[in-house]
Copies of this chain bind each other. A is one copy, B any other.
Amino acid sequence: MRAAATSHWRLVDARPLPGWIVLGGRVYAMTDFTFDSALAEWSAAVGPDHVVTAPAALRETETCTFRTDSRVPAIVRPANTAEVRECLRVAVRFGIPVYPISGGKNWGYGSSVPVTGGSVVLDLGRMNRILDFDEKLAYVTVEPGVTQGQLYAFLQERGSRLWMDATGASPESSLVGNAVERGFGHTPYGDHFAHTCGLEVVLPTGETIDTGFSRFAGAKAAPVYRWGVGPALDGLFSQSNFGVVTRMTIWLMPAPEYFQAYYFRCENAAGLSPLIDALRPLRLDGTIRSASHIANDYKVISALRQYPWEESNQQTPLQGPLMAKLRGDLKIGIWNGSGALYGTKAQVKEARRLVRRALAGKASHLQFLDDRTLRLASIFAKPYQLLTGWNLARTLALLKPVYGLMRGIPTDHPLASTYWRKRTSPPAQMNPDRDGCGLYWCSPVAPADGDHAARLTTLASELILGHGFEPAISLTLITDRALACIISLAYDRAEPGEDERAAACYHALLHTLAANGYHSYRLSIASMYAMDGSDSYTALLKRMKQLFDPTDVLAPGRYVAAEPKEQGAFSPERDASYSLR
């Protein structure tokens, strides 16, 4: 092990780890170093080809859909769990923070950019093996680099009768990355983290643990039963910086005999509340098993087209008569719902009756769509338009990706909406980070209750329009009792001053919603301050961080902040004869 000839140390007062020194009964970790020494150790760990310091690659990793100032000095790409452990060891030894990413596609929340500047990005993309698969018990065990598209292709190749759940982020998104962020999709398995178990986690202390029954060698129920025995630890490794998840079992859904999607609209703003109250009982009683979805006009329009720069005479925000005209042109409501029914033909038929009955008088244009009608509609779109004047092809273009998502088929279609305010069309290979698409996602949770839905969306809409942006909002019945509200704040980073204006709007929005009791289910790298709740809870999290990561090198500040430590260079005068162990 090589070390710099002169080293600097900081007081940590924790259990000594290899490479630290103990002086006068106190514990010091190295903090100042020749960065090259650390790079050399990482290179030895993962191979020199997988330690990236090329400026272009670093700039790319530092760039997300809003302004950040974190600088990334290097990217390290381990190939397996042992290399991850070794990478963390080097990080601890040199006191250099590392920031794990799986796919780095955390769009709207910070992509691959570390919360804390100076962090080396630990890119887990090479760990992309599907380690286990069971058709009968319906699960798959994956490494963090496995993407949505990869799993979809894997299932297709095998002619599997299982469906995955996908987010709308993109086929290149990581399954594990989304699950540990507690993201969601659109099928009955929409609450991703709730459909996982058996995590393998590398801790900064150098230990590797397996959660649930996985910690017992040969445990038969390891991939099928979440809790294991004793305290259940899985939750600790979601939305945290306590360990690096290097393996996870994900449960899959058996394809139903029959599938039917439904779509509906509501033409008046006040109609949202009765809609939510009509859908909640169906979600609670299991008639609707999937994460049903209601999007406002802005959300739908931004998925269908870009900002109407010409028609608006370059004015922002979009509102009033032009908005009404666009709704009419595109045949959409102020609120636009979708969802799906899964089961046998008879089960779906009865669910259809119940959805119809619940939405009667509350929604218009309720339509049910299955594979057959979708195929027919595609064929007859043109003659249909001649007869009715309705551009069915355009409607289908909108419906199809959502239709696919409700069957767990990954798509990058929703990404197009991040180009909403751009003045050029989305390219074939979309990359919002690269293309200067401005996007913040803000994701408050509310009870599945009409009054709350109305209050939350009104607060958000008024605030965002007041800041000169469009409030693109969707509400998802993420569980039986809760709504996840996703508010997209899209802008053009190429416009001078827009980064600052959007940031101001975003922070005001978070503040207002929290002040009204609507807290986010997930935070961006710019909003980790929203973790602050009760003092005792915050203090407990800090102590846990200290336990899992005594030197605070793993994703510092990501959801959990460490207790500030006494910093300072080691004084050679105090003890000149120290050496690395």
Q: In the complex the two chains form, what is the Cα distance from A449 to B536 in whole Å? A: 45
Q: Is A464 close to B, CB under 8 A?
A: no
What are the residues of chain B within 8 A of A193 when measuring CB–CB? 227
Interface flags, A427-467, vs B, CB<8A=1, else 0:
00000000000000000011111001000000000000000
User: Which residues in B have their C-beta under 8 angstroms from that of A350?
Assistant: 344, 346-347, 350
* Copies of this chain present: 2
Q: Is A76 an interface residue (CB 8 A)?
A: no
Chain B residue nearest to A530 in the complex (CB)? B229
Q: How far is the CA of A465 from the CA of B543 in the complex (A)?
A: 50
Q: Which residue of B lies closest to A240 (CB)?
A: B231
- Flag if A230 contacts B539 (CB, 8 Å): no
The answer on a CB contact under 8 Å between B224 and A448 is yes
Binds B, one of A35-43, A56-64, A201-209, A377-385: A201-209
Q: Do B537 and A547 touch across chains, with their CB atoms under 8 A apart?
A: no
Shortest beta-carbon distance from A381 to chain B in Å: 33
CB-contact partner of A540 in B209, B213, B479, under 8 A: B209
Which residues of B have CB within 8 Å of A522? 229
Q: A138-B481, A347-B347 are in contact. Are A227 and B521 (CB under 8 A)?
A: yes
Q: Which residues of B contact A520 (CB under 8 A)?
A: 229
Is the CB–CB distance between A447 and B239 below 8 Å?
A: no
- B227 near A235: Cβ-Cβ < 8 Å: yes
Q: Is A281 an interface residue (CB 8 A)?
A: yes
For the complex formed, measure the closest distance between the CB of A521 and the CB atoms of chain B, giving whole angstroms. Answer: 6
In the assembled complex, the Cα of A235 lies from the Cα of B231 at a distance in Å of: 6
Listed A/B pairs (11) with beta-carbon separation below 8 Å: A137-B481, A138-B480, A208-B536, A224-B447, A225-B482, A227-B239, A231-B235, A231-B560, A285-B343, A287-B347, A347-B347
Which residues in A have some Cβ–Cβ distance to B below 8 Å? Answer: 25, 136-139, 182, 188, 193-194, 203, 207-210, 213, 215-221, 223-240, 242, 251, 253-254, 256, 280-281, 284-287, 289, 342-344, 346-347, 349-351, 353-354, 445-449, 452, 478-482, 514, 516-523, 530-531, 533-534, 536-537, 539-541, 543-544, 547, 559-560
